[in-house]
Amino acid sequence: MKEAIVIEEITKNFKGLCAVDHVSLKIKEGEIFGLLGINGAGKTTLIRMLSCLSKPSSGDAQIMGLSLTKDSAKIKEIINISPQETAVAGNLSVRENLEFIASLYYKDKQVIKGKAESLIEKFNLEEVAKKRAKLLSGGMQRRLSIAMALVSTPKILFLDEPTLGLDVIARKELWNVIKELKKSITIILTTHYMEEAENLADRIGIMVKGRLVALGTAKQLKKQAGESKFEDAFIKIAEGGAL
């Protein structure tokens, strides 16, 4: 399996503070990769660099073979982000939200309508397609927000806390949606829910003080930390700084 992302000694400094410290990492095509860390660990800064929102102080990354430092304009065409804040227009219907986003990428009206309808079907939004987004449940809003990020057919999707604030049922319903996506797209997932990372991620990277200190499957990380529960393994790694 090919690598979708190859990170090479990437570093980010802010006024003497090293937010990301020489991180190297490979993420495979079609993989759901979980990036974990307590607040201030550097994961958000790393994601901002990989999504071309911030330039690295040193190092580089190859995104589908494109250099982060040299080809950022081309990289932006093949990635997208579903932010932590639900990014929907509340007064527009589900269909109108999708058609509006599609109109930013495509000119042909039939293509725009086709993109919207395809995503409505893919995300099981048929029953609420005519409903204004602000009247949707939190779970449906998050589902719509992720669908909107897929309008451009990105090869890599960054999911930032996709189920934040959702109840248990809505969270698990969204997990099923995300699992379906891995068949056709590479996903980098950030979350504070340990159960979510364990259930969704093929592999997990844990950051502490700007460094990537642990990498592996949830099962491997539990074994390395000597813990039966992934949450306990994460805490042990985060507090210890390394295994």
pLDDT in tens, the chain (243 residues): 799 999 999 999 988 899 999 999 999 999 999 999 988 899 999 999 999 999 999 999 999 999 999 999 999 999 999 987 777 899 999 999 999 999 999 999 999 999 999 999 988 899 999 999 999 988 899 899 999 999 999 999 999 888 888 888 888 888 988 998 887 899 999 998 999 999 999 999 999 999 999 999 999 999 999 999 999 999 999 987 654
- How confident is the model at residue 240, as a pLDDT? 78
In this structure, the chain runs to a length of: 243
Exposure string of 49-69, with b = 16+ CB inside 10 Å and e = fewer, is bbbbebebeebebbbbebebe
Cβ(146)–Cβ(163) below 8 Å? no
203 bridge partner residues: 33
The pLDDT assigned to 16 comes to 82
In this structure, what is the dihedral angle of CA atoms 159, 165, 142, 62, given to the nearest 10 degrees?
0
The predicted pLDDT at position 242 comes to: 54
DSSP codes, 130-169:
TSBGGGS-HHHHHHHHHHHHTTT--SEEEEESTTTT--HH
Helix axes 94-105, 109-122, angle to 10 degrees: 130
Closest to 218 measured CA to CA, from 4, 1, 34: 34
Bridge partners, residue 90, by sequence:
none
Residue 100: per-residue pLDDT: 95
